[in-house]
Amino acid sequence: MDLKLGHYNKDGIEVVDVEGEIDVYTAPRLRELLIDLVNKNNYQLVVNMEKVEFLDSTGLGVLVGGLKRVRAHDGSLDLVCTQERILKIFRITGLTKVFGIHETVDAAIAAKKLEK
Amino acid sequence: MATVEVTFTPLPAHVRTARLVAAAVARRSGVDEALLNEVRLAVGEACSRAVEAHQRHCPAEPVRIEMTDQGERFVVVVSDHAPAAPGASSPPPGANGNGAGHRGLIEVAHEEDGGDLGVIPVGFGLAVISGLADDVHVSSTSVGVSVRMSWPSAITA
């Protein structure tokens, strides 16, 4: 399937819902959304990847790019993911050490509040 | 002769088709269900790299994938016709699937300077492939780069 994107604000944190496949074809749309959110002064982001069916290195690059953007404003970008096949690519690239990865959106938001 | 051979116009939209075909042929060849996601991801990475190279150097030339059931191994070869970029002919040293060789994107994440969104270090896709397939060979010749990957087939006598 293609990529579906949505976002909403909860407790001052912007949650991005991603559904479908993030690859070399669809990743530019996620990149544009992250840029747009940062340009609108959203620096606390949670990307919910529970409905992501496929993620490749292009998608990882977009997430790392988003992380860099928010960090430049003292923000953070955390992920929600429990799917083993998606977590595997984070593990083999070592990016589990770069992103905060949580089991639920509520857990991610709670962790962000503790950071503040 | 390859079991299935596919050529496609070097456009990102076709990479998904390529990896779906690869997964289907792998399943048909007896590759374990648990490995199909790795086949799909590795073939996608190889095709993404080839598409990017063709778009830069020879957008009219198709990318070729050959998938062969060799009995005990399922072999995929993704070939392009673009000159190899520096560092693109081999995965980063130490790339062995445990994260030790994949420092590129981590370093990018920790860089202080801007850098555009989505910038991936050269060779990163190949490093990911090396973490997914236990047998990867990258060969660079005057006509282009070939990435050969293989996985065990369940049909082993």
CATH number at residue A87: 3.30.750.24
Amino acid identity at B46: A
In angstroms, the Cα distances linking B31 to B37, B129, B137, B150, B151 are 11, 17, 19, 10, 7
In angstroms, the Cα distances linking B45 to A109, B39, B78, B113, B123 are 32, 10, 10, 27, 10
Q: Is B35 on the interface with A (CB under 8 A)?
A: no
* pLDDT on residue B85: 59
Using one digit for the tens of pLDDT, what is the confidence trace for B60-81? 999 999 999 998 999 999 999 9
Residues 6 or more apart from B113 whose CB is under 8 A from it?
none
Domain count for chain B, please give it.
1
**CATH code, domain carrying B93:** 3.30.565.10
Q: Which residues of A touch B108 (CB under 8 A)?
A: 64, 68
Q: How crowded is residue B32: how many other Cβ atoms within 10 Å of its Cβ?
A: 14
Residue B157 lies in a domain: no
Q: Which residues of B touch A88 (CB under 8 A)?
A: 37
By residue range, what is the domain housing residue A35?
A: 3-115
Q: Is A47 on the interface with B (CB under 8 A)?
A: no
- Number of A/B CB contacts below 8 angstroms equals 103
How do A100-102 and A76-80 pair as beta strands?
A: parallel
| Lowest-confidence pick of B49-53, B90-94, B129-133, B141-145 | B90-94
By residue range, what is the domain housing residue B77?
A: 4-152
Return mean pLDDT, chain B. Answer: 82
Strand partners, B134: none
How do B135-141 and B144-152 pair as beta strands?
A: antiparallel
Domain count for chain A, please give it.
1
Question: Closest approach of chain A CAs to the CA of B113, in angstroms?
Answer: 9
E-state strands within chain B = 4-8, 63-69, 73-79, 135-141, 144-152
Closest partner CB to B48 (pick from A24, A67, A94) = A24
Asked if B65 contacts B76 with a C-beta cutoff of 8 angstroms, the reply is: yes
pTM, rounded to two decimals: 0.87
116 residues of chain A, pLDDT tens digit each: 689 999 999 999 999 999 999 999 999 999 999 999 999 999 999 999 999 999 999 999 999 999 999 999 999 999 999 999 999 999 999 999 999 999 999 999 999 888 76
